[in-house]
Amino acid sequence: MRRVDSDMEREPRSVTGVLPDDRDVLTVDRMGIAVRDLSLVTDVSLRLRPGERVGLIGESGSGKSLTALALMGLLPEGLRATGSIRLAGVDRDLIGASEREMSRMRGRQIAMVFQEPMTALNPLMRVGNQVAEAMLLHSTRPDKASAQRAAVELLDRVRLPDPANAVKAYPHQLSGGQRQRVMLAIALANDPELLICDEPTTALDVTVQAQMLELILAGVEERGSALLFITHDLAVVATVCQRLLVMYGGRIVEAGPVHEVFTRPRHPYTRGLLDASDLEATDPRGRLHTIAGTVPAAGRFPVGCVFRNRCPREPEEAKVMPGWTGDETRGFACWNPVPYDD
């Protein structure tokens, strides 16, 4: 169990602090999330400009979903966030903001699409009303009638067939893919500056996924919104995002443009992940490449480098948490990165 205060004494900064910039949509500076004295996410910094599409990759236990929830102020009871989160158009820091202040922002400047289309919609409310409600809550439409008209239009933009009738449907009358589109419509209803998607297509069929991804991209492009796309699927991230962050053990271990990171991954975890996900790359026996060992439970990562006991290249220095090599746009946290002949 690592204690938060002793972390600060022993470790260097993992990412050079990120200073807010007027042009940014989102600036996260050294955010941490802890429960009691257990650290779940440490030292996460990132910056998004308008229109940028950034991916956050990680597997279960990496802290990526908690990070998304922290941005929305939706952390479960007992979890505390530290550090700083600044959103364009909002004066105060999101960390420490009251529930009332956060609820004013959610669905307005910052919106989220969740994974499970079955449970994210109210089963007792017609979908048109749910979309309209998103607008009425934030008064982005003057009255009920115009909100309902806007709802029809939004459903049309997410390509629900026969939107005029679709608004009257209840969620259970729609398929999974259709429900996900409704969720997207709700999220985009108020033209948010930032759209966060947390595994939005994981539960969908492949053909439905392709359409959904296209809709998400079209939606953010139209509005000039920034996109933070969270997933464990490397291929999806490669298809959708311009740059990405790799999380493991509650930390960002590598960051950079998609092309760079996927062709020359420096961190052994990224390398391992790419190898494991490549179903066409097998050893002579036909077996896939794997990462040795298993992900430790949340908060129980090893002292020092979080990837220590699974790393094929574990060096002596791994007893201490590695600092960040590189800058904001391209870097990694590793003592013994994967080498390439340059």
Identity of the residue, 154 or 234, whose beta carbon is nearer to other proteins in the bound complex? 234
Three-state DSSP class for 319? helix
DSSP 50-98: TT-EEEEE--TTSSHHHHHHHHHT-PPTTEEEEEEEEETT--S-STT--
Could you tell me the smallest distance in angstroms from the CB atom of residue 196 to other proteins?
A: 12
Could you tell me the smallest distance in angstroms from the CB atom of residue 76 to other proteins?
A: 5
H/E element holding 40?
Answer: strand 38-48
Tallying the residues shown for the chain, one arrives at 342
For 284, phi then psi, to 5°, come to -55, -25
Identity of the residue, 124 or 297, whose beta carbon is nearer to other proteins in the bound complex? 297
Q: Tell me if 111 sits within 8 A of 180, measured CB to CB.
A: no
Could you tell me the smallest distance in angstroms from the CB atom of residue 139 to other proteins?
A: 28
Q: In what order do the strands lie in the sheet with 243-248?
A: 110-113, 194-198, 226-231, 53-57, 243-248, 251-257, 331-332, 325-326
Calculate ∠ Cα 124-125-128, nearest 5°.
Answer: 155
Could you tell me the smallest distance in angstroms from the CB atom of residue 205 to other proteins?
A: 4
Identity of the residue, 61 or 304, whose beta carbon is nearer to other proteins in the bound complex? 61
Identity of the residue, 295 or 320, whose beta carbon is nearer to other proteins in the bound complex? 295
Could you tell me the smallest distance in angstroms from the CB atom of residue 144 to other proteins?
A: 27
Identity of the residue, 3 or 259, whose beta carbon is nearer to other proteins in the bound complex? 259
Identity of the residue, 42 or 231, whose beta carbon is nearer to other proteins in the bound complex? 231
Could you tell me the smallest distance in angstroms from the CB atom of residue 206 to other proteins?
A: 5
Q: Tell me if 138 sits within 8 A of 162, measured CB to CB.
A: no
